């Protein structure tokens, strides 16, 4: 499996269209209608949002606690996936490619 995030799959689309595709992926996955691509988009988005592959360097104590809580939630999902080391690295690359791609003008996540 070659993991690809939203920006890798749909980087050619305008930002509103990428946001729409992200929402469609979440709805598909959590309604039981998701396909492989939807799952990849959702998992890379969650990895990015939860800071799974980020260091937290330079964050305040409060921000580090928030990041830790997000990471624990993602870890819960991640432990059930049973990915190979190669798949984990591909997921990390996809999440890093998506880093900051899904924020609004104020920097808040969508």
Q: Which residue ranges make up each domain of the chain? A: 6-98
Which of residues 81 and 69 earns the better pLDDT score? 69
Model pTM score: 0.76
Q: Where are the alpha helices (DSSP H) in the chain?
A: 6-10, 15-30, 36-50, 61-78, 85-98
Contact 109, 22 (CB under 8 A): no
8-state DSSP, 33: -
The structure tokens listed for 62 are: 């409060």
Q: What is the mean pLDDT of residues 47-60?
A: 87
Closest CA to 48 of 4, 10, 82: 4
84 pLDDT band, cuts 50/70/90, is confident
At residue 102, does pLDDT exceed 60?
no
Query: DSSP state, 13?
Result: S
Q: Which residue has the higher pLDDT, 56 or 32?
A: 32
Query: Looking at residues 68-92, what average pLDDT do you find?
Result: 88
């Amino acid at each position: 499996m070659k993991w690809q995030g939203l920006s890798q799959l749909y980087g050619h689309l305008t930002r509103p269209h990428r946001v729409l595709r992200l929402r469609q992926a979440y709805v598909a996955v959590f309604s039981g209608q998701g396909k492989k691509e939807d799952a990849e988009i959702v998992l890379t988005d969650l990895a990015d949002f939860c800071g799974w592959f980020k260091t937290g360097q330079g964050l305040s104590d409060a921000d580090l606690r928030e990041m830790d809580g997000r990471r624990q939630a993602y870890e819960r999902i991640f432990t059930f996936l049973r990915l190979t080391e190669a798949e984990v690295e591909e997921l990390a690359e996809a999440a890093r490619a998506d880093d900051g791609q899904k924020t609004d003008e104020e920097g808040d996540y969508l």
